[in-house]
Chain A
Amino acid sequence: MARELLKGNVAFAEAAIRAGCEAYFGYPITPQTEALEHMAVRMPELGRTFVQAESEVAAINMVYGAAAAGVRTMTSSSSPGVSLMMEGLSYMAGSEVPAVVVDVMRGGPGLGNIAPAQSDYTQMVKGGGHGDYRQIVLAPASVQELIDHTVLAFDLADRYRIVSVVLADGSLGQMMEGAELPAMRPPRAADASPAWALSGAKGRDTNLISSIHLDPDEEERFNHHLQAKYAAIEAAEIRYEEHLLDDASIAVVAFGTAARLAKTAIAGERAAGVAVGLFRPITLWPFPTDALRDLSERVEAILVVEMNMGQMLEDVQRVVAERCPVGFFGRTGGVMPMPEEIAARIRALAVELGAAVSDAPEEVRT
């Protein structure tokens, strides 16, 4: 496949199709709607299912139904819509059906605005719905990663019978970048649907997709089964990027677009002689706990940068456990942290640590 200029929302929708997504259910919401519109054209063209649902509540439950029937299925939305999906996501965790959700996050709380933000870390990573459940959360930082993570999300969802989330933000959804789409994979043949799926009990015992365990002991046993599965995912699926960390005394920890902005700041600070690098969690769950703990033993300070008021920060603090100081810089409400602002925070830290640095970066209002 050749590199093309692609808009993030269109890119992930097309990537999902090529990954064999057979059914898309969604509801319009900015800054994600181009994905729904792309699906509205492409899915019928390919003889696949597209439904504009009456709400995100309905959309996620349609996904639940299609997933229960054993096909690759997805929805995409943005923060307020994702809030409405929490019930469905909890049910899907409770009945172990695989599906993909792409969340193109925007500023909140409430109706907020349509500008890019990382407002849903907590509800997606911690599980905004009820019960002890997890979902795999991938955090892309480019249109290419948005594509790659969407494909990966389907594979991981199927492998573990779990919901995989691609946690993007409004800037990734809206930006155009050169990227390469994967080759078209054929959808799963009807007779190759998973053994647990609902297809009509022909020549086999009946199948049941349910999240009810009325007996508390049974529910507890089921939860232990889930926890064992989650432990297996934590052992096998952690992904992160280390950038210029070998000799770093300061590590910026950031994901998604915030990490990309931080990279620009880091390049400038490196040029000025500051030993700074980037640690970028790619899977937000499973969280790269061990790698971050190791890092906290090597560096003198950590600066967490987010497009929210410190939702991932709590996880970083938990892992670092005071092995080194953890600072925070976040812009929120749809405001992006500019590289110069991040650079100023890095520089301040470096000065505090007594590093010899050249010309101080221009102070900016924050």
Chain B
Amino acid sequence: MSVLAPPEPALTPVYSYPDALTHVPTHYCPGCTHGIAHRLIAEVIDEMAAKERTIGVASVGCSVFAYRYFGVDFAQAAHGRAPAMATGVKRVRPEALVFTYQGDGDLASIGAAEILHAAVRGEQITVFFVNNAIYGMTGGQMAPTTLLGQTTTSSPAGRDRATMGTVLRMSELLAQVDGAAYVVRRSLHDVVQIKRAKKAIRRAFEVQEQGLGFAMVELLSSCPTNWGMTPEAALGYIRDEMVPAFPLGDFKVPETRAEAGA
């Protein structure tokens, strides 16, 4: 039987490599969501056609080499100091789209003062805060964001409220600050959440473009390596353990564009 094959549809790629990413393979562990966060940011930079005027500020943590993966100008800040460095960059290059990319040890612990006061000043920068509830790079020690009872190499019997306190929710904290214009928490544990995260990343860059003030997107992220889990189990851990401790949502959004622009 000879049936004429239907004409082949032209193959148009619907999922291509973002221009704002280099082709350097990342050093992230299998199943780590840092890679997803990178891709989302790069896609948004492409969509905004902002690659040639974007300046990133990398932090100290597993994402220390972020500058290798983004095809944009980059600075590599000291541990926790990225918001201060980004302040210096943005103040003298107001036309640039400036973002920091920071882990939870970097942003919520050693850099707590720098992030708080960047928000207080209403710095026109965009912060991507990757919260994986642990220090990834140094091998899994407790962070201010570590869950109560979570075991880490420096809380081997589990985080104990009496001596170690409990989770620091930076988005809720920063939303209290008048200079913060946009503060939201998203998660990277499934496709729906990832799509929501991307929208927030876009909005956070737009807030900077519109000069509305400080913008931060917190991204709940996985660290299968230091959590001692498979990549899949790690995504489940975000969903089942982290999301209840770090509720997703919008903590601060510009009221209306018209008002905020006034």
Contacts and interface: CB of A to CB of B under 8 A. Distances in A.
Interface stretch (B48-56, B157-165, B203-211, B219-227): B48-56
B72 A65 contact: no
Nearest to A197: B73
B73 A200 contact: yes
Given A66-B91, A69-B93, A61 B55 contact: no
Contacts of B181: none
B78 A58 contact: no
B118 to A, nearest CB: 9
Given A62-B85, A62-B87, A22 B96 contact: no
B73 A206 contact: yes
A64 interface: yes
B197 interface: no
Contacts of A63: 88
A227 B78 CA distance: 23
Interface stretch (A2-10, A46-54, A113-121, A216-224): A46-54
B253 interface: no
Interface string B48-70: 00011111011000001001000
Q: How large is the interface on B (under 10, 10 to 19, 20 to 34, 35 or more residues)?
A: 35 or more
A201 B51 contact: yes
Given A22-B92, A66-B92, A198 B55 contact: yes
Contact of A209 (B54, B74, B84): B74
Contact of A65 (B54, B86, B113): B86
A133 interface: no
B77 interface: yes
B88 A69 contact: yes
B85 A68 contact: yes
A51 B86 CA distance: 13
Interface residues of A, number: 40
A165 interface: no
A290 interface: no
Interface string B101-138: 00000000000011011001100000000000000000
A101 to B, nearest CB: 14
A212 interface: yes
Interface in A196-234: 198-203, 206-212
Interface in A89-119: 91, 95
Interface string A306-332: 000000000000000000000000000
Contact of B81 (A57, A67, A203): A57
B96 A49 contact: no
Given A61-B78, A88-B78, A210-B76, A199 B88 contact: no
B73 A61 contact: no
* Chain A contact residues: helix, strand, loop or mixed: mixed
Contacts of B81: 57-58, 61, 64, 87-88
Contacts, number: 135
A55 B75 contact: no
Contact of B78 (A53, A55, A70, A91): A91
Interface in B201-259: none
A179 interface: no
Contacts of A69: 55, 88-89, 92-93, 96
Given A49-B92, A65-B84, A200 B74 contact: no
Nearest to A55: B113
B71 interface: yes
A124 interface: no
A64 B96 contact: no
Contact of B88 (A55, A57, A61, A207): A61
A23 B67 contact: no
Interface in A67-97: 67-71, 73, 87-88, 91, 95
A287 interface: no
B174 to A, nearest CB: 14
A279 interface: no
A73 B71 CA distance: 27
Nearest to B87: A62
A25 interface: yes
A79 B116 CA distance: 25
Interface in A150-175: none
A317 B92 CA distance: 45
Contacts of A67: 88
B84 A61 contact: yes
Q: Which of B64, B67, B86 has the most chain A CB atoms closer than 10 A to its own CB? A: B67
B95 to A, nearest CB: 8
A49 B121 CA distance: 14
Contacts of B72: 200-201, 206
Contacts of B113: 54-55, 57-58
Given A206-B72, A207-B73, A211-B76, A62 B55 contact: no
Given A23-B88, A65-B91, A207-B74, 6 more contacts: A58-B117, A62-B91, A69-B89, A200-B72, A206-B71, A208-B73
Interface of B: 51-55, 57-58, 64, 67, 71-78, 81, 84-93, 95-96, 113-114, 116-117, 120-121
7 contacts: A65-B85, A65-B87, A66-B91, A199-B93, A199-B96, A206-B71, A211-B76
Interface of A: 22-23, 25, 49, 51, 53-55, 57-59, 61-71, 73, 87-88, 91, 95, 198-203, 206-212
